[in-house]
A and B are shown apart, each in its own frame.
Chain A
């Protein structure tokens, strides 16, 4: 927290409250640092993974106390950077990655941010220049939320901390509209007014003297040519993913892999097995419901692994037990993340502090139906958009989303592919005017992009909207609720850059989803894993939620439209995510 209006003891009390709200993600230690002159107080809850000793305590400074940091995440290349910094004469007091960030900043200034490879969000205070930076990793894996109003800046890893500290108490009246349309709260918004998430790959620079800030991207431009032949593409993918897995296995605490049985997690497991000197631990989930059970595929991979294999059966009654905790842990409303919450719980119970997850491969290599469905939008755009209003009258719930094509707006295109409720439905559910719904969803929401409705656009939507706002946020918050760090090798900076250099026709080869990835690792990936119908990491939630007495209790729902939707859900004609969304806004 930075404020010249609040005294030191008040700031410290607020920051202590905020730390208390984040204890689940940092069970190992707590620290507070204050600079009375700068009006600054940093707080930190520690999840110790690298340098488990007390020398990794945070907030941390360099030995001359020129800069202070509070840091959440991991820097995978910290040893390489440390070696480089030692040559410049840097001195280190710990073996932590945190100290390397400070030294890198003192050596290279803001150019240091782009040298970091990892998952991170940190605040760094430069005492001499009277500047504080908030910095977020380039793939947006670790979140950081800030509130910058009236000459004060507050920030935290979860929104609930800002609420707990009383920093921002006012609710954003538009959150329910966004939530019902998206199924989550899209960045940069939150449920609180004037509380925003810092965009990925950006830094916020707070000037203490002026009590003002600006936000810029710290990315570095590389002059790299497009990879135009498939042999080079496969070789580059193989090399870059191997390096990413190698980097991300760095830890002084126990680390494992989430294994679902799909292509991505199987590939990571097999690559990690090759890399890891000690035996690799795997965490899997299976179900009694046969249509959701992937244990057959998991076993195909597990046969090749030497380490401990933790496999957990999840049943309807587990879901019933877990649901209240899942809802209280989600920080911001969401219709996903139940699966990550469960597997994170098991990983934590099995003694792990960090795991690798296969998230990101579908988005980078065209693994979703949206990569073909985007063609429908291209076709639809040839017709008058008002024609699609008719979808509002569809008796089939799944077709009502077509009404998004009425709006000539890229966000509407995305919501057609991935949205939950149509504007007309939201208007009826919340009893607000449809123009208000439209304004919240589409006004001031420009994309830095011109749409051609091709595979690259589908990838853009999936990476920057769905993965960013739904998958990554849920994964981080659900993992951290169990003190578990989820690492995502497919989103390694260098791997993503390599993938994005590959010509679209090769990267999104239409003959099979993720063909390039499969072909690149044809030598280690069993055919039975890639030559099968995609299932995704899905739970039998349609059945389980239908059995849940709270979600299906019609009297809980205030408006008739909501009650009708719940009724339809019980008849199986509405998807569980819609019922779950309604349940959360009551």
Chain B
């Protein structure tokens, strides 16, 4: 009998953040696993529209978009889920739907994906009930999130599995590792510039990304490293832009810091090539796909040591985790990296190592195993 898998996502294609990227890769992997095994797979995406679909990840036959119509999603779920064997909810906000589906179809296996801050906090009554009584498996994107699920929500260790996120299967992986000329021009850089790079959403409501610390660190290092430049990228709101520009002035790094705003996906790999070091000393990354993307382009990374980021650097094998509140530690770690020239061989090595752990094939194998285990359980 064919296996029916249903994946619920809040948003998959219409915006690009960590969770959305993870969902695209997961949908792509599930589609191919299902194709090979002759199973049925479908992605339900609540906020997306039909036109948002990026067909390289998934054919339209396997995709249903609900254009923010919750009632329609609720009704469709009830009918479609009656023959589902595995239902995967990609966000805890689907708890109510999970409860209803499980009530109507108790034999289905109910999985929940947990990412980061959405579950590292007290949960509502419905979400708690769902976790306790209706959810069969919790897929955590990092060991840190798994620990949080057990400690904060008393989830049983056997129920909580870790499945680290993977590199986007369609990211342009570099082969030559040259710094792109057009970006050197855009930012007024020289080949001798030592470029630190941060890419993250810069929202005034999310003050945990740590870019402020990097600005301070760059200010402290600019004397010793006269060629230092800091490229700070990601969409910002106007309040955050004004705040950052004031910080740049306050720490006297107007010549060092380059605020780029939104980065086009097509130029993502080229920015990793342009840089000598990726730094995101964040406190609340569930996993941090951006770290593995940087590593896949041969770019060393510095991340925080108190969240899911440590999984992305394989506990120090691929990068360095630091105490993000300790400015000295941040500065010293940056200095260590900048003092060692980033050669072609180093970049190639990092890329190979990263792909070994985080390429999509590896992810697909692990996911496949989880699905098979479910069947045999």
Residues of chain A having any CB pair with chain B under 8 Å: 109-111, 114, 216-221, 223, 225-226, 228, 384-386, 407-409, 438-439, 442-446, 448-450, 504
**What distance in Å separates the Cβ of A371 from its nearest Cβ neighbour in chain B?**
17
Whether A220 contacts B186 in the complex (CB less than 8 A), given A386-B69, A408-B49, A408-B68, comes out as yes
- Minimum CB–CB distance from B15 to chain A (whole Å) comes to 7
- Given the complex, which residues of A lie within 8 Å of B14, measured CB to CB? 446
Q: Within 8 Å CB of B262, what residues of A? A: 448-449
B67→A218 contact, CB < 8 A = no
Alpha-carbon distance A219/B261, docked complex (angstroms): 13
Cα of A462 to Cα of B248 in the assembled complex, Å = 32
Residues of A within 8 A of B267 (CB): 216
Residues of chain B lying within 8 A (CB to CB) of residue A217: 182, 186
State A441–B51 Cα separation when bound (angstroms): 9
Closest CB pairs A-B (n = 6): A442-B51, A111-B185, A443-B51, A216-B182, A225-B245, A408-B67
- Please name all residues of chain B whose beta carbon is closer than 8 Å to the beta carbon of A225 when the two chains form the complex: 245, 249
Which residues of B sit under 8 angstroms from A444, Cβ to Cβ?
Answer: 51
Contact of B241 among A114, A226, A448 (CB under 8 A): A226
Pick the interface stretch among B117-125, B147-155, B252-260, B332-340: B252-260
Which range holds the interface residue count of chain B?
20 to 34
B238 engages A221 (CB within 8 Å): no
* Contact present for A439 and B186 (CB under 8 Å): no
Contact of B68 among A218, A385, A439, A504 (CB under 8 A): A385
- Bound Cα distance from A112 to B259, whole angstroms: 22
Q: Is B188 an interface residue (CB 8 A)?
A: yes
A110 touches B182 (CB 8 A): yes
B186, A384: Cβ atoms under 8 Å? no
User: What residues of B have a CB within 8 angstroms of the CB of A220 in the complex?
Assistant: 185-188
Chain B nearest CB: distance from A445 CB in Å?
A: 7
Please tell me if the beta carbons of B260 and A442 are within 8 angstroms of each other in the complex. no
Chain A, residue nearest B72 (CB): A386
Specify which chain A residues have a CB less than 8 angstroms from the CB of B49 in the assembled complex. 407-409, 442
Query: Is the Cβ of A223 less than 8 Å from the Cβ of B50?
Result: no
Q: Complex Cα distance A223/B264, Å?
A: 19
Complex Cα gap A442–B51 (Å): 6
Docked complex Cα distance between A530 and B111 (Å): 64
Q: Are A445 and B51 in contact (CB under 8 A)?
A: yes
Would you give the shortest CB distance from A348 to chain B, in whole angstroms? Answer: 39
The answer to whether B51 and A438 touch across the interface, beta carbons within 8 angstroms, is yes
Complex CA–CA separation, A215 to B15 (angstroms):
23
Q: Which of B238-274 contact A (CB under 8 A)?
A: 238, 241-242, 245, 248-249, 254, 257-260, 262, 264, 267
* Complex CA–CA separation, A226 to B245 (angstroms): 8
Which residue from B181, B187, B257, B259 sits with its C-beta under 8 Å from A109? B181
Across the two chains, which residue of chain A brings its CB closest to B257? A223
Interface centre among B51, B186, B257 (most CB of A within 10 A): B51
What are 20 A-B pairs at a CB distance below 8 A?
A114-B185, A217-B186, A218-B182, A218-B186, A220-B186, A223-B259, A225-B249, A228-B242, A384-B69, A407-B67, A409-B49, A438-B50, A439-B51, A442-B51, A443-B51, A443-B53, A446-B14, A448-B264, A449-B262, A450-B235
Kindly list chain B residues whose C-beta atoms are within 8 Å of the C-beta of A439: 50-51
Q: A219 — which chain B residues lie within 8 A by C-beta?
A: 186
Q: What residues of B have a CB within 8 angstroms of the CB of A114 in the complex? A: 185-186
Could you tell me the distance between the alpha carbons of A445 and B51 in the complex, rounded to whole angstroms?
Answer: 8
* B259 contact set on A, CB distance < 8 A: 221, 223
| Cα(A148)–Cα(B357), bound, Å | 38
Q: Is the pair A504, B257 in contact by a Cβ cutoff of 8 Å?
A: no
**Set of chain B residues within 8 Å of A443, measured between Cβ atoms:** 50-51, 53
1/0 per residue, CB under 8 A from A, across B38-75: the answer is 00000000010111110000000000000111000000
> Complex: how many Å from CA A223 to CA B257?
8
New A-B pairs, 13, CB < 8 Å, besides A407-B49, A450-B15: A110-B182, A218-B182, A219-B186, A220-B186, A220-B187, A223-B248, A223-B258, A225-B245, A228-B242, A408-B47, A408-B68, A409-B52, A442-B49
